[in-house]
Amino acid sequence: MNTARSEAWFARAQSRIPGGVNSPVRAFKAVGGAPRFIARGQGSRLFDIDGNAYIDYVGSWGPLILGHGHAAVSEAVRAALEDGTSFGAPTEREVELAELIAQIMPSMEMSRLVNSGTEATMSALRLARGFTGRELTVKFEGCYHGHVDSLLVKAGSGMATLGIADTAGVPAGFAASTIALPFNSVAAAEQAFQRHGGKIACVIVEPVAGNMGCVPPLPGFLEALRELTARHGALLIFDEVMTGFRLGLGGAQQRFGIRPDLTTLGKIIGGGLPLAAYGGRADVMKRVAPLGPVYQAGTLSGNPLAVAAGLAALRYLRDHPEIYGELERRAAQLCACPPPQVTVNRAGSMFTFFFTGRPVTDWESARQCDTERFARFFHHLLERGVYLPPSQFEAGFVSAAHSEEDIRRTVEAAREFFEAAAPPPSNP
Ligand code: KE4
């Protein structure tokens, strides 16, 4: 496969962009080699600048559930562009989007639009602290909620101890306001509340984790978080930036029947343009400026082009509910019968092939994976025109544009890898 132009542009990019990319995971550091520079996307395909075509399971990291260049979204953006790009003033379609979100996710009685998932989670945390008057946050190891200072932490020495920064540049005090617990551990959550209960402002969780790879909640885990937060007067925040409109139109909260106090949304909500939101209980949201004392603002919040794209995408998903059954079928075909020493986790149309023979239920089990073997698998598929997320610890996504043939080709390429790598059968 010729990738000369991508390699040349990647080398050129290094002098002006850190690592040559505008988001770290895109640099292929976890799998090696040079990232592909993309010329365009269409349907389930990406096309790089060397003319290679790929079946795309990254989907811009989740937003493109309808596939690349969907007509409903493109036409909506083209029409909105005729009227201008940004006004810094309220527009009708922002109200229509807030109303549609409340219809789709009844827990989101009120919402505020922002530009990224990071902005959404950062704002939701500030609101939770402002509403409760408390300072501590509980999060879970392996869950990622954007590059919010206080959430870039790893667990302290023991269970339920205060966090320590997991990146340079975060003051110890910020990290110390966060308790990082093992995902899926009810016992750890109970212990944290026993120890810090009255000081915990909120628990923030990816209801299906996607940022350590795809790790669904064990039965009872989300229910326990709902009960614990209610009992102790803390807010439950579902970070549905990835799962919202992905696991079903109503996201994880619909799938698992849990009503969080606040929800953060991103990715699909913008139809591929920069748009995110946080929202939830009206009594909580009414503390947000200009109504209340919790400040949050944004120049391009509710941007007309992004909102037009998001409205078109969500309306299309609402009006074509059969899409979710199709996504389920395609993803199930892709993830059927994993080979030995591979654990496949899937929730709806998000999935991860973990290179381990053990179940993966939290970060501790995820990080045991053979990342070298994953990297070889990744490149084996890439060479055959199948583009998985370039990291063992990311979720892949099937879109409504992926065909039966796409899935068949992908399964065939994967099977070839596993058969080539399989030890010869022992003589009977
Ligand atoms: P953004 O700021 O990247 O829009 O959203 C942050 C975020 C918040 N919450 C969840 C559950 C998320 O998955 C994300 C971002 N996801 C990553 C993918 N693992 C974005 C890809 C990237 O960082 O380049």
Q: Domain range holding 96?
A: 71-319
CA of 206 to the centre of ligand 1 (A): 11
Residues 64 and 125 in one domain: no
CA of 207 to the centre of ligand 1 (A): 14
pLDDT at 97 over 50: yes
What is the average pLDDT score of the chain? 96
- Of 263, 297, 319, the domain-final residue: 319
- Interhelix angle 371-383/404-421, nearest 10 degrees: 130
pLDDT at 157: 60
- Residue nearest ligand 1's atom 9 by CA: 145
- Structure confidence at residue 142 as a pLDDT band (50, 70, 90): very high
pLDDT tens digits, residue range 298-329? 999 999 999 999 999 999 999 999 999 999 99
pLDDT at 68 over 80: yes
pLDDT tens digits, residue range 228-259? 999 999 999 999 999 999 999 999 999 999 99
- Residue nearest ligand 1's atom 1 by CA: 117
Ligand 1-lining residues (CB < 6 angstroms): 23, 25, 61, 116-118, 121, 144-146, 206, 210-211, 239, 241-242, 266, 276, 394
Indicate whether 61 belongs to any domain.
yes
Residues 229 and 91 in one domain: yes
Residues 63 and 93 in one domain: no
pLDDT at 425: 57
Indicate whether 241 belongs to any domain.
yes
b/e string for 364-375 if b means 16 or more Cβ within 10 A? Answer: ebbbebbeebbb
Residues 82 and 229 in one domain: yes
- Interhelix angle 304-319/71-82, nearest 10 degrees: 150
- Structure confidence at residue 428 as a pLDDT band (50, 70, 90): very low
Neighbours of 13 (CB within 10 A): 17
Residues 11 and 124 in one domain: no
- Rounded alpha-carbon distances, angstroms, from residue 304 to 9, 70, 276, 311: 32, 18, 13, 10
Q: Give the integer Cα–Cα distance in Å for 399 and 407.
A: 11
CA of 415 to the centre of ligand 1 (A): 30
- Rounded alpha-carbon distances, angstroms, from residue 29 to 6, 13, 300: 15, 15, 32
* Torsional class of 267: left (φ above 0), alpha (ψ -120 to 50), beta (otherwise): left
> How many residues can be counted in the chain?
428
Indicate whether 268 belongs to any domain.
yes
Residue 390's CATH number: 3.90.1150.10
pLDDT tens digits, residue range 167-188? 889 998 998 999 999 999 999 9
**Ligand 1 atom showing the smallest separation from residue 210 Cα:** 13
Higher pLDDT, 159 or 187: 187
pLDDT at 338: 83
Indicate whether 329 belongs to any domain.
yes
Indicate whether 288 belongs to any domain.
yes
In testing the pocket of ligand 1, which one of 119, 139, 145, 393 has its CB within 8 Å of the most ligand atoms?
Answer: 145
**Number of folded domains that form the chain:** 2
DSSP bridge pairs for 238: 205, 263
pLDDT at 162 over 90: no
Indicate whether 426 belongs to any domain.
no
Residues 55 and 92 in one domain: no
Indicate whether 164 belongs to any domain.
yes
Residues 135 and 216 in one domain: yes
User: Can you spell out the DSSP letters for 253-265?
Assistant: HHHHT---SEEEE
Indicate whether 428 belongs to any domain.
no
User: How many separate helices (H) and strands (E) can be counted in the chain?
Assistant: 14, 16
Residues 300 and 380 in one domain: no
| Contact (CB, 8 A) for 152 and 165 | yes
48 included as an active-site residue: no
Sign of CA dihedral 10, 16, 22, 27: positive
pLDDT at 422: 67
Residues 178 and 80 in one domain: yes
Residues 198 and 245 in one domain: yes
Q: Which residue out of 267, 316, 324, 362 is catalytically annotated? A: 267
Q: Give the integer Cα–Cα distance in Å for 253 and 258.
A: 5
Q: Give the integer Cα–Cα distance in Å for 349 and 329.
A: 9
- Of 279, 304, 319, the domain-final residue: 319
What is the arrangement of strands in the sheet containing 200-205, beginning at the earlier edge strand? 110-114, 276-280, 262-265, 235-240, 200-205, 136-141, 178-182
Higher pLDDT, 166 or 343: 343
Across 142-152, average pLDDT: 94
Across 33-40, average pLDDT: 98
Across 134-142, average pLDDT: 97
Residues 52 and 92 in one domain: no
Residues 92 and 224 in one domain: yes
**Ligand 1 atom showing the smallest separation from residue 267 Cα:** 4
**Ligand 1 atom showing the smallest separation from residue 394 Cα:** 19
- Structure confidence at residue 427 as a pLDDT band (50, 70, 90): low
- Of 319, 351, 386, the domain-final residue: 319
User: Can you spell out the DSSP letters for 168-233?
Assistant: TT--HHHHTTEEEEETT-HHHHHHHHHHHGGGEEEEEE-SSB-BTB-BPPPTTHHHHHHHHHHHHT
CA of 52 to the centre of ligand 1 (A): 27
Q: Is the peptide bond before 339 cis (omega within 30 degrees of 0)?
A: no
- Structure confidence at residue 337 as a pLDDT band (50, 70, 90): confident
Across 10-34, average pLDDT: 97
| Contact (CB, 8 A) for 370 and 343 | no
